[in-house]
Chains A and B, each alone.
Chain A
Amino acid sequence: MNNLSVEHLTGIHDLTPEDIELIFQTADNFKQVINRPIKKVPSLRDITIANLFFENSTRTRLSFELAEKRLSADIINFSASSSSVTKGETLIDTVNNILAMKVDLVVMRHPNPGAAKFLSERIDAKVVNAGDGTHEHPTQALLDAYSIRERLGSVAGKKVVIVGDILHSRVALSNIYCLQKLGAEVMVCGPTTLIPKYISELGVKVEHNLRKALEWCDVANMLRIQLERQEIKFFPSLREYSMQFGLNKEILNSLSKEIVVMHPGPINRGVEITSDVADSKQSIILQQVENGVAIRMAVIYLLASKIERQ
């Protein structure tokens, strides 16, 4: 088994545990590449990649762009605010116009759930989902699990709690799939209004008390409160949220064991996590960012190797 079982990366849901392991092994090598004097390999020099961002992103876009450049691919960038989308063009038309310029692989972020899957069924290029609405964000989940594997040796058997806005979070859903496929136990924690009603059907535990959740876990993944997605009030105030679900040094120090703290970024300091925790030794937030580039290189490399040469 040394080929991905999928043609596109639309979500973790479609991957097998072997796929994930293959991506991790490949990422190990790329991590080595990005830590040496010349951080670039020529593998993808005949591949062109389009980064289509129909929704704002800084970290993910930069991470993908860097990963593509380090593989020597040619890249074109596109963001919705400066495009014909605002003139009424459909997604398929926009993408087909870009593909007419001979693009081999598309990295897309889109506000609609399922957009990546929709696209992958209709165009003649590989698709990597960089976040589709509240559905999935597969590369984030891969880099999160990879960072856990790096810190704790393995993911299997570990207990991971995802804290915060589970309802609006594509990171949470992808993380649940990814961690479960690798044999970890997953719990979600947050205010009742931000936990989807049927989430326990995915086989995750639900807890509304942060302290209990932290006592149970090995790793706490603190999600950002997505203020931009909250058209109605899900909790009375940010201050109340951070009092009940914010991670601070005091709680962390009172636990019976040392846990690993993660955050997919961007951090709302003082809301879901305090500065001293975010900058502490227990936090692997910056390692997550570094691993993000290696993981994205691995995903693109493995998908690109499936592109047929004309």
Chain B
Amino acid sequence: MEKQVILNKRHFELTLNRLCYQLIESHNDFSDAVLIGLQPRGVHVVSRLKSQLEKILHKEIMCGSLDITFYRDDFRRREKPLIPSVTNIDFSIENKNIILVDDVLFTGRTIRAGLDAMLAYGRPAKVELFAFVDRRFKRDLPIQADYVGKTVDTLSTERVSVEWNELEGEDKVVLYTPEVNE
């Protein structure tokens, strides 16, 4: 497996910062907006965005996490059952502006499931999509992100991983390419 860093620590931070200001540009003081992270990895993006935005705006940002396991379209198409994570939305999303957050946008199927899962909690005014990394050219569904940290062109055999200081020891985005067999 070949490993290539496509966003290093410094650019990672710059990107997050830029995205925060982009969010503020469309949502002003976040009075009607909430961030909802998709389990399992989107919640890390949310927690980072939350602390950054709170630093800039000096107010609390409403955040939640959403598990989409029971809404996936690949139930019974996998070897192992999908083990769910926790959903934590302790506010009403009725008439709110929702920003669905995930780390990597690839086929769009997770987001499709996320939309379904979210609608079980109410009817938001508007839903936007935030993807820290957008792997374009391999979308299975007509889904595009409104906020993108980094766009990458990849093969479907490759893997993109957003890594966090809290979990993996360093903030970075890594592209893994499998070795080609001779």
Is there contact, CB below 8 Å, between A307 and B86? no
Indicate if B80 sits at the interface (CB-CB under 8 A): yes
Question: Size of chain A's interface in residues, with CB distance under 8 A?
Answer: 26
Residue of B69, B80, B81, B122 with most partner-chain A CB within 10 A: B81
Partner of A2, one of B70, B72, B80, B122: B80
Taken together as a complex, chains A and B put the C-alpha atoms of A152 and B75 apart, in Å, by 33
Among B75, B82, B85, which residue has the most Cβ atoms of chain A within 10 A?
B75
Residue pair B120, A305 in contact (C-beta under 8 Å): no
Kindly state whether residue A37 has any CB partner on chain B within 8 Å.
yes
**Contacting chain B: which of A39-47, A91-99, A133-141, A258-266?**
A39-47
Q: Which listed segment binds B: A28-36, A197-205, A269-277? A: A28-36
Kindly provide the distance from the CB of B67 to the nearest chain A CB, expressed in whole angstroms: 7
Checking B67, B71, B122 against A42 with a beta-carbon cut-off of 8 angstroms, the contacting residue is B71
Q: Say if the beta carbon of A3 comes within 8 Å of chain B.
A: yes
Flag if A29 contacts B121 (CB, 8 Å). Answer: no
| Contacts A32-B86, A38-B121 given; does A3 touch B67 at CB 8 Å | no
Q: List A residues 265-290 near B (Cβ within 8 Å).
A: none
Contact of A40 with B76 in the complex, beta carbons under 8 Å = no
User: Which B residues touch A32, using CB under 8 A?
Assistant: 86-87
Q: Is the CB of A37 within 8 A of B122?
A: yes
Kindly list chain B residues whose C-beta atoms are within 8 Å of the C-beta of A15: none
Interface 1/0 per residue, A20-32 and B, CB below 8 Å: 0010011001001
Contact at B76–A38, with CB atoms within 8 Å?
no
Question: Could you tell me the distance in whole angstroms from the C-beta of A289 to the nearest C-beta in chain B?
Answer: 22
CA–CA, A36 and B82, complex, Å: 21
Digit string of B78-95 for contact with A (CB within 8 Å is 1, else 0)?
001111111100000000
Whose C-beta in chain B lies nearest to the C-beta of A38? B120
- Expressed in whole angstroms, the Cα–Cα distance for A71 and B75 within the complex equals 12
CB pair B83–A36 under 8 Å, yes or no, is no
Query: For the complex, would chain A's binding face be called helix, strand, loop or mixed by DSSP majority?
Result: loop
Number of A-B contacts (CB under 8 A): 54
Contact, CB under 8 Å: A42 / B116: yes
Closest residue on chain B to residue A43 by CB atoms: B70
Query: Are A36's CB and B76's CB within 8 A?
Result: no
Asked whether A301 lies within 8 Å of B81 as measured between CB atoms, the reply is yes
Contact of B81 among A40, A42, A44, A302 (CB under 8 A): A302
Other-chain contact of A26, B83, B116, B119, B122 (Cβ < 8 Å)? B83
- Any chain B CB within 8 A of the CB of A176? no
Whether B77 is near chain A, meaning CB under 8 Å from some CB there, is: yes
Chain A residues with CB under 8 Å of B84's CB are 26, 29
Check: A142 CB closer than 8 A to any chain B CB: no
* Cβ–Cβ < 8 Å partners of B119 in chain A: 38
CB <8 Å contact, B120 and A40: yes
- Indicate if the CB atoms of B69 and A29 lie closer than 8 Å: yes
Given contacts A29-B69, A29-B86, A41-B70, contact A3 B120 (CB under 8 A): no
A26 CA to B76 CA, complexed, in Å: 16
- Contact for A25 among B75, B82, B83, CB less than 8 A: B83
B86 touches A36 (CB 8 A): no
Q: Which of B67, B76, B86, B116 has the most chain A CB atoms inside 10 A of its CB?
A: B76
Residues of A within 8 A of B121 (CB): 36-38
B177 vs chain A, min Cβ distance (A): 28
Let me know if B83 and A2 touch, CB within 8 A.
yes
> Which of A3, A38, A305 meets B75, CB within 8 Å?
A305
The 7 A-B residue pairs whose C-beta atoms are closest, nearest first, are A41-B70, A305-B81, A38-B120, A29-B84, A43-B70, A2-B83, A3-B80
Report A's interface with B, CB cutoff 8 A: 2-3, 22, 25-26, 29, 32-33, 36-38, 40-44, 46, 71, 301-302, 304-309
